[in-house]
A and B are shown apart, each in its own frame.
Chain A
Amino acid sequence: MEDSFEQFVRGSTTQLLRTALLLTGERGAAEDLVQDVLERTYRHWRRVEDPHAYARVVMARRITDRWRIGSRRVREVQLQQWHDEPVSDGTQARAQRAGVEALLRQLPPRQRAVVVLRYFEDWSEARIAEELGCSAGTVKSNCSRGLSRLRQLMSVEDKAREAAR
């Protein structure tokens, strides 16, 4: 059990962190979320058939839990670089524009979760509804509103970039 869990952790942490970063919009919060998810996955490891799917389900549920109490959470400011070696956070890939997580952060929490699960994790609307405990109609409307807002934000971004040329 310990060996296979360790293999899972070493093989999936980065991909989980990417999803968590889009969901939370903050590196520190994303790392916290990944650790929470892995700890819970470990506790249920013996019964988990597909750990990759299971971890994402736990993440989706933890996210809605976190956002339920999120207004009480103090936003963290990183005071010290904890990493022993430099770790890329995607800065190179978006030197000319803000990261998409910055745009996602401007969406209400549930819209953000739905958009990330739908377009990054490729979950169906039915699955998102089931995992987040809401109706398919709610998923559809959150997704539609989230896309509309993102389209608007990206359009503003494009215009600003053109004006700067």
Chain B
Amino acid sequence: MIDFEQQLRQRMHDDTREVQAAAWLPEAALTGAVRARRRHRLAWSAAATSTAVATTALILALPGTDDSTRQLMPAVPSTTTATTSPEDFTAGEFTLPLPVPLPDDAPDRPGIDSHDWRGQIRESMRRYPDAFVVPEQLPPHIGTMQANVSNGHPLITIDSEGPGVTICVGDLATCRHSVGTDWEIMTSAEVDSRTFHVFLSPPGKPTDTGLTLQQQEYWSTVSFTSGTPEWMAPHEPNAP
């Protein structure tokens, strides 16, 4: 009598023996690998460009400055001494790091992994500990997260599949001024004595349908923290 384990092993092989990958599958995988890399590169170059444009616009719009008096030195953060570098960008009172590229052999982690967006958030929170809160867990379909400055106010923007959300620490009027008056509020709460609001980014194009009910539920129920959650741990090299 064949023992059950052997019978099961045989059946798994028998039942899958005729399974063949369709011709399109390896082609899609080969195309997809290249396309995914290109998409990640484009996403980050777009982010860097928009950041540079926004930074320039903010510097030009600073009150009381003109061509003769404008100082283009990085602003010094108010809460900690910042170590600035060419990878930093300055907007208003804030000098934040830009995400640095990760090596190709960086370990697989959720989200776009061509740039170290976790490190960018971590460093931003270290420089300005009162300015940000983050979710304790990442949303299931995380793309990227980035610390930004809009209208002089620091924000965390989170991109996933489809429209993302923006987290703003501060009173509602300040946050509305920063993100825009037509942004829908998903959540308002307080954590570690900081009031914050989570705004739903407006659809980027007419065909966008907004967050799904499950995604909305996620942002309504996830816990937030001003600390450094587990997902923010630095990359460790050489893990498969």
Contacts and interface: CB of A to CB of B under 8 A. Distances in A.
Nearest to A90: B18
A85 B20 contact: no
Contact of B20 (A88, A99, A101): A88
Contact of B108 (A40, A90, A92, A147): A40
A114 interface: no
Contacts of B72: none
B29 A35 contact: yes
Contacts of A100: 8, 11-12, 15
Interface stretch (B31-39, B186-194, B199-207): B31-39
A43 B104 contact: yes
A145 to B, nearest CB: 14
A34 B29 CA distance: 8
Main secondary structure of the interface of A (DSSP, over half): helix
Nearest to A6: B30
Contacts of A85: 22-23
Contact of A13 (B4, B12, B16, B21): B21
A119 B12 contact: yes
B17 A72 contact: no
Interface string A59-72: 00100010001001
A31 interface: yes
A76 interface: no
A82 B238 CA distance: 38
Contacts of B4: 147, 151
Contact of B36 (A39, A57, A99, A151): A39
B25 A34 contact: yes
Contacts of B108: 40, 58, 61
Interface residues of B, number: 36
B12 A116 contact: yes
B20 A87 contact: yes
Interface string A89-103: 111111000011100
Contacts of B240: 44, 54, 57-58, 61
A87 B29 contact: no
A147 B5 contact: yes
Q: Which of B5, B17, B23, B25 has the most CB of A within 10 A?
A: B25
B19 interface: yes
B8 A89 contact: no
B182 interface: no
Contacts of B105: 44, 46-47
A42 B216 CA distance: 34
Contacts of B104: 43-44, 46-47
28 contacts: A5-B33, A13-B21, A14-B19, A14-B21, A17-B25, A22-B12, A31-B21, A34-B21, A35-B28, A38-B30, A39-B36, A61-B240, A65-B110, A82-B22, A85-B22, A87-B20, A87-B22, A88-B18, A88-B19, A90-B16, A90-B19, A91-B18, A94-B15, A99-B15, A116-B12, A119-B5, A147-B4, A150-B8
Interface of B: 4-5, 8-9, 11-26, 28-30, 32-33, 36-37, 104-105, 108, 110, 113, 140, 214, 238, 240
Given A44-B240, A82-B24, A150-B8, 12 more contacts: A13-B26, A38-B26, A39-B36, A43-B104, A46-B105, A47-B105, A65-B110, A82-B22, A90-B16, A93-B17, A101-B16, A119-B5
